[in-house]
Amino acid sequence: MSEHLEEARRDMVERHLKGRGIHDERVLAAMGKLERHRFVDGPMMSRAYEDRALPIGQGQTISQPYIVALMTEALELQGDEKVLEVGTGSGYQAALLSMLCERVFTIERHSELLARARRIFDELGLGNIVSRRGDGSIGWGSEKPFDRIIVTAGAPAVPDSLVRQLALGGRLVLPVGDRREQELKIIDRLSDSTFRGRTVAPCAFVPLLGKEGWTLSGA
Ligand code: SAM
């Protein structure tokens, strides 16, 4: 089984990541190493290296590997950054970030998902991840500023709090759109009051729920 999974992971990197234009060697190496099958439940393990989002419980998903790679590459991590992730989910993205930057702060609104992700971080010995339960649409004010912020749920608009928690020269990567389909956006903080945004690709994430996200009822 583990040999088969290793081969499937290599194939994922070659075909779904390199084959579709991901070129950051650090991202490719980390995704070649990190065992995505650990972050999904038993029945999903054999499908862990398919290029698709998979259910992780609570109506949530672990994101598609290509999109994870695209977003991570867009962060342009060098290794010394402090990064905020909104939407811990399975913990896969946070674990990947922890291999590529100095410190990761990650927030999840579902305590069950957070507890499971924390167990995996412990098993993998990932000591540079700090996590908490809460509404990440308003960021993590007591830990600002962040060099990078990544939101792994779809927002109706760019949350003002997140933009304000970016360090000068920092970058925010997030999906913005309606509840079903979004566009991946990159926003750079150039100075105290100057920001530059651009759109990278279409994507489809579960909704970001919270004060600066969608309301639970869908309004
Ligand atoms: N990054 C995750 C991974 O690697 O598995 C995938 C995230 S999943 C697509 C989106 C996650 O965002 C869900 O677990 C959901 O509960 C969480 N979420 C949605 N709104 C949130 C909020 N306001 N604050 C924190 N987490 C939120």
Which residue segments constitute the domains of the chain, with CATH numbers given? 53-203 (3.40.50.150)
Q: How many CB atoms lie within 10 A of CB 157?
A: 9
Looking at the CA of residue 56, tell me the nearest atom of ligand 1. Answer: 5
Looking at residue 207, the DSSP 8-state letter turns out to be B
Q: Are 50 and 44 in contact (CB under 8 A)?
A: no
The ligand 1 atom nearest the CA atom of 211: 23
pLDDT in the model for residue 2: 83
CA distances from 41 to 47, 80, 116, 193, 204 (A): 10, 32, 11, 44, 22
Nearest CA to ligand 1 atom 7: 89
- What pLDDT is stored for residue 216 in this prediction? 78
Q: Do 137 and 155 touch, CB atoms closer than 8 A? A: yes
- Closest ligand 1 atom number to CA of residue 53: 9
The gap from C-alpha 136 to its chain's centroid, in whole angstroms, comes to 12
How far apart CA 6 and CA 47 sit, in angstroms, is 12
Q: Which residue among the candidates 46, 63, 111, 193 is catalytic per the annotation?
A: 63
Please give the structure tokens belonging to residue 94.
């946070």
Ligand 1 atom index nearest CA of 210: 23
For the chain, list residues with pLDDT below 50: 219
**Nearest to residue 68, comparing CAs of 109, 25, 22, 107?**
22
Which residue CA neighbors atom 11 of ligand 1 most closely? 87
Instruction: Answer for the pair 53, 61: CB distance below 8 angstroms, yes or no.
Output: yes
How far apart CA 170 and CA 167 sit, in angstroms, is 5
Ligand 1, pocket-test mutation among 206, 211, 212, most atoms within 8 A of CB: 206
Pocket probe for ligand 1: among 31, 37, 88, the residue whose CB has the most ligand atoms within 8 Å is 88
CA distance 167 to 169: 6
pLDDT at 86: 98
Is any ligand 1 atom within 6 A of the Cβ of residue 176?
A: no
pLDDT at 122: 98
The amino acid sitting at 106 is T
DSSP-derived secondary structure letter, 206: -
pTM (predicted TM-score):
0.97
Q: Where are the alpha helices (DSSP H) in the chain?
A: 2-11, 25-33, 65-74, 92-98, 111-124, 160-164
DSSP lists the bridge partners of residue 104 as 83, 129
Q: Say if residues 83 and 146 touch (Cβ distance below 8 Å).
A: yes
Residue 10 has what pLDDT? 97
Both structure tokens of 189: 């903080």
Residue 9 Cα to ligand 1 midpoint, Å, equals 24
Distance from residue 3's CA to the centre of ligand 1 (Å): 30
pLDDT at residue number 218: 52
63 an active-site residue?
yes
Residue bearing the CA closest to ligand 1, atom 25: 108
Q: Is 131 in the pocket of ligand 1 (CB under 6 A)?
A: no
DSSP conformation class of 141: G
